[in-house]
Amino acid sequence: MNNTEEKNYIFGIRSIIEAVEAGKTIDKLFIQKGLHNDLFTELWKLVREKRINYKHVPLEKINRLTKKNHQGVFAFISPIDFHNIEDVVPNLYEQGKNPLVLVLDRITDVRNFGAIARTAECAGVDAIIIPEQNAAAINADAIKTSAGALHKVTVCRTWNLKLALQFMKESGIQLISCTEKTQEDIYKPNYTTPTAIIIGSEEDGVSPEFLKMCDGRAKIPMNGKIASLNVSVSTGIILYEAIRQRGKHDS
């Protein structure tokens, strides 16, 4: 770990309990497999109440993270605070905004995520939604790659991305997936209404269950010999088509 990362982790059951009770946002918690004692029961209660992202791991994993007395638990503290999309959307409407939301489905590369966040902030995206699992760590590298954008853009994290998408649909936000699995290009959808754009992983694209929920699908025209673009570049292209339409609509 580098010096920056060392400032963003804690270990020991009591230390983590105190951090959670102080309002610190835990990005990821590693728990030794088979750990059971009275003090851990107190921590486990907080983990369940706060829905902290945790993972049971072998003792060797935690020993590699620190040589000190960790008591079987090790946590990374998030450098940003996360929001709930259920709170963000009503607030956007109350402010008279026309929501533009970016949903990241299994974007796990830290630098891609940071670059996407930078573009999203520049484009004026109202919120980025990421899942608790299968998402890039928001660490020093992500912050640096985002050029600080992750400190400015609203990031929502959810345990159930499907429910978050359903909530947005019920809130009047259309879902548009950026995918190769369509004949429609990115210029076809109308982005001037409340919109959430879904970006999938570079390996598999948008999850099939989310594609089925979408109100529209859009692909980026490809005229060269290389079959695909980097996911952060793709995100920028479709976002700025949405911004172009919205600017034309507002003018």
* Alpha carbon distance 80, 148 (integer Å): 11
Instruction: Give the pLDDT mean for 72-98.
Output: 94
| Residue range 191-225, pLDDT digits in tens | 999 999 999 998 889 999 999 999 999 999 988 88
Say yes or no: 145 and 57 in one domain: no
The residue out of 77, 105, 136 marking a domain boundary is 77
8 A C-beta contact, residue 22 and residue 49: no
Q: Nearest 5°: phi and psi at 156?
A: -105, 135
The closest of 69, 81, 104 to 206, measured between CA atoms, is 104
The residue out of 25, 60, 77 marking a domain boundary is 77
1: confidence class by pLDDT, cuts 50, 70, 90:
very low
Residue 251 has pLDDT above 90, yes or no: no
8 A C-beta contact, residue 115 and residue 146: yes
Say yes or no: 94 and 180 in one domain: yes
CATH code, domain with 23: 3.30.1330.30
Say yes or no: 70 and 97 in one domain: no
Say yes or no: 161 and 240 in one domain: yes
Say yes or no: 189 and 224 in one domain: yes
Say yes or no: 106 and 211 in one domain: yes
Say yes or no: 72 and 91 in one domain: no
Say yes or no: 92 and 38 in one domain: no
Q: Write down the pTM of the prediction.
A: 0.85
Task: Report the mean per-residue pLDDT for the chain.
Answer: 92
User: Which carries the bigger pLDDT value, residue 129 or residue 226?
Assistant: 129
Q: CB neighbours of 180 closer than 8 A, spacing ≥ 6?
A: 205, 219, 228
Say yes or no: 49 and 130 in one domain: no
| Residue range 128-158, pLDDT digits in tens | 999 988 899 888 889 999 999 999 999 999 9
Say yes or no: 90 and 203 in one domain: yes
Say yes or no: 54 and 89 in one domain: no
User: Which carries the bigger pLDDT value, residue 1 or residue 47?
Assistant: 47
Say yes or no: 69 and 108 in one domain: no
pLDDT at residue number 6? 44
Residue 16 has pLDDT above 80, yes or no: yes
- Could you tell me the end-to-end alpha-carbon distance of the chain, in angstroms, rounded to an integer? 50
8 A C-beta contact, residue 104 and residue 210: no
Residue 2 has pLDDT above 80, yes or no: no
The residue out of 43, 77, 111 marking a domain boundary is 77
pLDDT at residue number 7? 57
3: confidence class by pLDDT, cuts 50, 70, 90:
very low
176: confidence class by pLDDT, cuts 50, 70, 90:
very high
Structural domain boundaries enclosing 63: 3-77
Q: How many CB atoms are located within 10 Å of the residue 24 CB?
A: 15
pLDDT at residue number 248? 67
Count the domains in the chain: 2
